Chains A and B, each alone.
Chain A
Amino acid sequence: MSEHVSNLEAIAGMALATLACRFGGYWLFARITPTPFIRHMLSYLPGTIFMAFVTPALVRGGPQDWVGAACAIAAMMFIRNLGAAIGLGVAGAWAWHLLA
């Protein structure tokens, strides 16, 4: 029983920490006037966050993921549809998985 309570405590703690991240950054920036430098930084964040997230995962993933990534990017560039890009990305990775 106490074991289960500790699970709930850990989940509640994680939820609060995540909430602090979600609200904390917004709260802070709403209270300061960002300098032009900070505004420029924020404008670059969307792309750089995704690059930082994706690059190590791709390098770790190997050829199967690289083929899938190339398919997803090509589909997104030419079809401009997120569902198609994800589907073709998985299809590409799957094709490589079956062939290799």
Chain B
Amino acid sequence: MDSATTASTIKFTRAGFWRGMSRAWPLAIALGPFGLVVGIIIQSKGLTMVDCVLMNMFIYAGASEIVALANWTHPAPILAAILAAFVVNMRLALMGPVLNPWLAKITPVQRFFSLFVLVDPSWALAVTDMRKGGTDAAFYAGLSVPLWAGWVISSLVGYLAASRLNLPPDHPLFFAALASFIALLVPLWRGRSDALPWLVAGGVALSVARILPGSSWYIVAGALAGSITGAIAEHRK
């Protein structure tokens, strides 16, 4: 990893947990509209409230839920839903190892729950902290708890309010989730060496999204193409 952390100094403190909690609230709020939308979709597909809560507690990956729900039928399309979850969430398999300097040094129980709630925004903030030399793995746990709870609650609110809310799909409130992902790119920028890999990632993602509409291979394809470009550039130095 490119952080200055040495593995032996990794800790998991209460102070770190609270620092994470205090940094998580803007994200928990920003993801609210996204959760709301997922809840509304779940209701519109005729699923029960229990289904809604279980889905968001245990899958906890909104994009994959939306893709699977788009093609939901009764009885449920079990294999198609599993495939959607797998393809959309494959990026999580690439994200986990980046946190290894922290996760390798905490207890198995802490590690299990850290990976169980692995999602993009908290991961990005944790990586940013790690790159600045952060050594407190509890920071990531503190980020994750409010995000997970906020997600389960906002999707449930969406489910319950679905019949009364009537927001058009292009309502600016729904931009909040995308805005948070865009804003998180700023602290991830390390300098000019990021330019080419980022351009390749965006370009490849755009092309794959055009070639395979309705699937989510574009995320994995763009991320791998960009990262391989970066690694090749480093190799040539």
A residues in contact (CB < 8 Å) with B: 2-4, 6-26, 28-30, 34, 36-59, 61, 64-65, 68-69, 72-73, 75-77, 81-87, 89-90, 93-94, 96-97
B residues in contact (CB < 8 Å) with A: 1-2, 23, 25-27, 29-30, 47-48, 51, 54-55, 58-61, 64-65, 68, 74-79, 81-86, 89-100, 103-104, 115-116, 118, 120, 123-125, 127, 170-173, 175-176, 178-190, 194, 197-198, 200-206, 209, 218-223, 225-231, 234-235
Asked if A94 and B182 sit within 8 Å, CB to CB, the answer is no
Knowing A44-B231, A61-B178, the reply to whether A10 touches B77 (Cβ < 8 A) is: yes
Which of chain A's residues have a CB closer than 8 A to the CB of B225? Answer: 48
Shortest Cβ gap from B193 to chain A (Å): 9
Knowing A40-B231, A44-B194, A48-B226, the reply to whether A18 touches B182 (Cβ < 8 A) is: no
Give the secondary structure class of A's interface. Answer: helix
Asked if B222 and A3 sit within 8 Å, CB to CB, the answer is no
Which of chain B's residues have a CB closer than 8 A to the CB of A16? Answer: 82
Knowing A25-B95, A58-B178, the reply to whether A46 touches B205 (Cβ < 8 A) is: no
Knowing A13-B78, A52-B219, A65-B175, the reply to whether A18 touches B206 (Cβ < 8 A) is: no
> How far does the alpha carbon of A8 sit from the alpha carbon of B75 in the complex, in Å?
10
Apart from A53-B222, A86-B180, what are 14 other A-B pairs with CB-CB below 8 Å? A6-B75, A13-B82, A23-B96, A26-B97, A37-B235, A46-B95, A48-B201, A48-B227, A52-B205, A53-B219, A55-B222, A58-B178, A76-B187, A86-B176
Q: What is the chain B residue whose CB lies nearest that of A32?
A: B97
Knowing A11-B54, A19-B116, A68-B172, the reply to whether A50 touches B181 (Cβ < 8 A) is: yes
Asked if A40 and B230 sit within 8 Å, CB to CB, the answer is yes
